[in-house]
Amino acid sequence: MIAARSVRFGILPVALLGTLVAGCGTQRAGEAAGPGVPSRSASAVAPPSAQADLPCPGESPTPAPSKPTDDSGPAAQPGDHYAENHGFMVPIPLHGRQRCDGLAAVTRIQHALEPLRKRGDFDPASTRGALTRLGYAAAKVQSYQDGPTGVGFLIDASPMCLEGKMSSRDTKADAFGGYPDHFGCDQPRGGH
């Protein structure tokens, strides 16, 4: 009885291995998969459909990216999963009408904060006040000291997020659609 049981359990791994070996390697990349079935390489090359970003009011016909890529981090080496593991921290860009709404909101914010910057008023309370006067709910506006002459801010204006910094040199703001796998506009911490 013991011999019959060990033979039965020994056959299962051999059968599974035989199935895997028989099914693997029968089609090479770039070869047709058969009639009516697209090859894997053709489907892997096709980019996902994306919304067209037409020029927004007041914008030139060739819009610049809304947020430059951050090259300050370590460069990913082949086989390195740094970018993959930190993808949850990359803001989701806005497209279509939301992108135009975001650009308009950024312009309003910059105009509202410019008088504070010119006066040298880098108090987070003053910045928060200027932003709430634009109509953003006080509970959705965060402002914080960012160096001796700087103020950072973050606004949850669902479905978009607005963030930026005002310093003695200039006022910068950006609009984005949040973060993958994260609720809210604050940059997520942690991951996998």
Tell whether pTM > 0.85: no
What digits encode the pLDDT tens for the residues 70-123?
Answer: 444 455 555 667 666 667 778 889 999 999 999 999 999 999 999 999 999 999
Question: What are the structural domain ranges in the chain?
Answer: 89-176
What digits encode the pLDDT tens for the residues 3-28?
Answer: 555 545 555 455 544 544 455 444 44
Do 91 and 178 form a contact (C-beta atoms < 8 A)? yes
